[in-house]
Chain A
Amino acid sequence: MMNGVLTRNGREWSLLAACIVAIIVFSVASPYFATSGNAATLLRNSVELLLVGLGMTLLLAMGGIDVSVGIVMGLAAIGVGRALGADLPVGVTALAGPVIGAGLGLVTAAVVVLGRVPAIVGTLGLLGVYRTAIFVLLGGQWLSGLPTGLTDVLAATFLGIPVAAFLIALAYLAVWLALRRTPYGLHLLAIGNSEEKARLSGIPVVRVRFATFIVSGALTGLAATFYVANYRNVEMTIGTTLALDAIAAVVLGGTSILGGKCSLLGTVLGVLLLRILQNGLLLVGVPSLWQPVLTGGLLIGVLMLEVAAGRLSFPQTGWVRK
């Protein structure tokens, strides 16, 4: 076994149980919850978060973080939207997302790794810069009524399963292999444990951190491709709560906010639980305005519980996130 990566501390079982309880409660409370239409909506709404959460899992496990993922997805979505509007080939349009995302990941890495600015601050600064970039690029208007070219491809089914589901499964499998079967995984977890010790052990710390920010950016960009395919518009407020949702889902899934441990299965279950709660509460009449309260509350609650249980303690001095 390797501590973590796929599973950790039975957290996954608790999450699975929580999902089941939530499904039962909402099925009783709302006649619409347990319909196939709603299940499809719920899964479709989980697509971006599954991908962004995968990147966030890597970042947190490495002792990093990115609070600009929402706006990065927005920028990539504009690229995808413009490509779609210009009738470029589907392959080019689809790839525009991950390519733009990877490019922005490179920028993030340059700021955080080369500039040696703590990730939480560096990505917060970038968030500000990108927010204006989105405004300027969109000219204050939505991209809307985009063609269905991408939608048709990603929603197409193969053996009864949507192509989108295959792509997401492939992304998780690739990351799992990288973490569990290649030196990269050991290096990432060693950096998450202690960057200085990793350096003393001869790990190419700068290269691993760059690669991880780029991969996370590419996954966020892929999420943008799915976003545009799903909704066929890009609005000014795109991705506002994405970073919060992703960090909450990943921490809920058992990945350590301090780095060094992660669970991919936990991330999947964390995303599903979050989306089930959001969807269910909406159906029983709680306005969507309350969703960030729920997400933020869950994030803080889980961390407070772990601290109280003695499983987590934050250093009292210095920057935690690197």
Chain B
Amino acid sequence: MTAPFLAARGIAKRFGALTALSGVDLDINAGEVLALLGDNGAGKSTFIKILAGAHAQSSGELLVEGAPVSFASPKDAASSGIATIFQELALSENLSIAENVFLGRELKRSVLGIPFLKRGEMRKRVDALLTELDAHISDPEAPVGSLSGGQRQAVAICRALNLNAKLVIMDEPTAALAVAETRKVLSLTRRLAERGCAVVLISHNISDVFEVADRMVVFRRGRKVAERLRADTNPEEIVSLITGAHPDVRALERTN
């Protein structure tokens, strides 16, 4: 068995007096869709923000391809091949689609040492990505603030795809989407995994998760309480793990 693309060891995060995460161990493998599940406030977004370099962990260690890493900023995580679609999307509403897709990693050419944007090239690349996603956006020059929730979601996904990342993290990517768009995103997660990318998907929709995930991890009150291969579990069990009704979770919570 090869080393996981990313390994989290004993990750904890405290916000002042509040412990949002504690002792999370998790392996994330290339070519696999891993689902993170858990109630509201379970710590899923906090966990992936640590992987994305948006928060620093309070303790614990991250290893990328076996080597310890420490991310000071989202840019660092991106250079390690980690692309994240945040729950709150993190798009700049006043900028256009192409500007958003390339924001922070623009294509440029240097003239007399000044980095000039290659707008035409960026625009072409974004058009290709939008076509690949089958996203219908009439005016790619419009500010992202004027797009619908689903269209914004597509822009955020384009941004992640454009990184050619080795790990794509999606925090509730289908929450704002209609049925057809949800299907597209789910099949996209599969395609990414088939290309050898590692995918982490956060979702509250159990049937979506069972459709695409190879492995599922359940968070509860900042702890990882269960990890299951899809083949070894069923939706009822996962729901009981999330709600805490499952005997394993009860046993775990009694010992703490």
Task: Name the distance in Å between A310's Cβ and chain B's nearest Cβ.
Answer: 15
Contact with A along B54-95 (1 / 0, CB 8 A): 100000000000000000011100100000101010111111
Q: Is the CB of B74 within 8 A of A199?
A: yes
A to B contact number (C-beta, < 8 Å): 77
Check B103–A260 contact: CB distance below 8 A.
Answer: no
In the complex, are the beta carbons of B94 and A189 less than 8 A apart? yes
- What is the 8 Å Cβ interface bit string for chain B, positions 167-202, against chain A (1 contact, 0 not)? 000000000000000000000000000000000000
Contact with A along B86-121 (1 / 0, CB 8 A): 101011111110011001111010000011110000
Residue A157 interfacial (CB < 8 Å): no
Number of interface residues of A (CB under 8 A): 26
Chain B CB within 8 A of A261 CB: yes
Query: Would A204 and B75 count as touching, CB distance under 8 A?
Result: yes
Say whether A3 faces chain B, with CB atoms less than 8 Å apart: yes
Docked complex Cα distance between A190 and B96 (Å): 11
Cβ of B107 to closest chain A Cβ, rounded Å: 9
Scoring A183, A199, A203 by chain B CB atoms within 10 A of each residue's CB, the highest score goes to A183
Within 8 Å by CB of B95, from A177, A182, A186, lies A186
B10 contact set on A, CB distance < 8 A: none
| B164 CB to nearest A CB, Å | 15
Q: Which of B86, B91, B116 contacts A182 (CB 8 A)?
A: B116
A204 proximity list for chain B (CB < 8 A) = 75
Known: A186-B103, A202-B78. A193 touches B73 (CB 8 A): no
Residues 165-223 of A at the B interface (beta carbon under 8 Å): 177, 181-183, 186-187, 189-190, 192-194, 196-204
Residue of B with least CB distance to A202? B104
B248 proximity list for chain A (CB < 8 A):
none
- Taking a contact as CB atoms under 8 Å apart, the answer to whether B73 and A197 are in contact is no
Given A183-B115, A190-B103, A201-B94 contact (CB < 8 Å): no
Sorted nearest first, the 9 A-B pairs with minimum C-beta distance are A202-B104, A200-B90, A202-B75, A190-B92, A260-B94, A197-B90, A183-B106, A201-B104, A193-B94
